[in-house]
Amino acid sequence: MKSIFTLLLLIATASSCTMDQSHLTAKSSDINFEGCPVWTIEGLGSNSILKNNFSFKKEYKADSTLQIGNYIRAMIQDKSGNIWVGTHGKGLARFDGKMLKFFNEDDNFNSIVVRDIKEDQKGWMWIATNKGVYSYDGKSFVNYDITSGMDDNEVWSVLIDQTIATGTTGIWFGTEAGAFFYDGRSFTKLKIPQADLSRFPSAYKAPELINSMVQDKAGRIWFATNGNGVFCYDKKVAGDDSNRLTQYSQKNGLCNDVVQGIYIDKKESLWFSTRFGGASKFDGKTFTTFNDKNGLKNNFVWTVYEDRSGNVWFATAGGGVTKYDGKKYTTYTSKDGLPDDYVQSILEDADGNLWFGAGTGLARFDGKKFISYQGKSDGC
């Protein structure tokens, strides 16, 4: 992603918990702001430490490291090249290569928690928040919440249904009250059985929560549930929705039924990251488990991610990140330069750098070393 390095530094500064320049510390000579353009930040009001005509070169020493106290939950580059960022605590931002704009109540965007962002075929953005769903057509935001037909305002995931004809709307939303399909006019709930969370007393208390969704090449939709494994929905199957849903759980070989995320790799294998059992790879027939018995340092896996070289990365809650190259496991922790060992998100940029979002900051990995942008924990 072009300009992602500078963008994330801007996000780091804008999302500082204290909004105080005194928390900028000199920690690394690898950061060089020489030649950086002048940036403008909008939407943060008087609390912003970035101002019009702010210049890194003018304001900070070349070896300053900007600290992050805010977790970046989602990031996507749209068809026009803009980078959209969803944060926990500072809401939604858009970077167009020149200007970073934070959206707030002045733009009719009223949430500070953004969990997922997707772009549909028309170029509209759909944003999952703790105050329902927002759509953005390039000019204005529209909010959809319980008054619009969904049963819950806590939305965790968004999926654009690729089987829907171009020019029409077909979007799935994963909420704490289950999965909902929006056809542009109304919301329809897909009845996915809720979990018995008595089996998992330390799980998040939302038995109908849909944490993540993906769509495979066959058009089937996979739902990650909070305690009920995963469900595959195939609308081509005759009958009602109960016939179209197939459940995969620990009984079938899934490593754990509290599923945090789903990822499809280049070979179309499905990866399920779980809260208590590690991760499972599913080739359509069998499950293969990756956990602390064969290479991971922690069984709470937030995210699975495949880089351009084919390495599979596991982001864990307490065990740092582990790289699997198909033969051996290599684990990186705070001792190697990560901000901390609780890593929730992974992104690879256009230059092949990997970015890891952790509990107390962000780290960039160039394949040899980490550069950490670390701040105080905000409890994410």
Distance separating alpha carbons of residues 77 and 95, to the nearest angstrom:
9
Cβ-Cβ contacts under 8 Å for 201 (sequence gap 6 or more):
none
pLDDT at 27: 29
In 105-209, which ranges are E strands? Answer: 114-119, 125-129, 132-136, 141-144, 155-160, 171-175, 178-182, 187-190
E strand residue ranges, 170-229? 171-175, 178-182, 187-190, 210-215, 221-225
Three-state SS at 288: strand
Residue 165 sits at the vertex; the CA angle it makes with 163 and 167, to the nearest 5 degrees, is 135
62-76, 179-193, 309-323, 336-350, range with the lowest pLDDT: 62-76
**Residue 22, pLDDT score:** 24
Label residue 14 by pLDDT band (50, 70, 90): low
pLDDT band at 76 (very low <50, low <70, confident <90, very high): confident
Percent residues over pLDDT 90 in the chain: 60
Average pLDDT estimate for 309-322: 96
Determine contact, residues 343/327, Cβ cutoff 8 Å. Answer: no
The string of pLDDT tens digits covering residues 323-335 is 999 999 999 999 9
Where does the pLDDT of residue 127 fall: very low under 50, low under 70, confident under 90, or very high at 90 and above?
very high
DSSP assigned state of 46? G
- Measured CA to CA, the distance from residue 3 to residue 36 in angstroms comes to 11
Dihedral (Cα; 237, 240, 243, 245), 10-degree rounding: 90
CA diameter of the chain: 66
Terminal-to-terminal C-alpha distance of the chain: 25
Q: What is the pLDDT of residues 262-274, one digit of tens each?
A: 999 999 999 999 9
pLDDT for 117 equals 92
pLDDT band at 8 (very low <50, low <70, confident <90, very high): low
Domains in the chain, CATH or no CATH each: 76-93+106-374 (2.130.10.10)
Residue range 125-149: mean pLDDT, rounded: 97
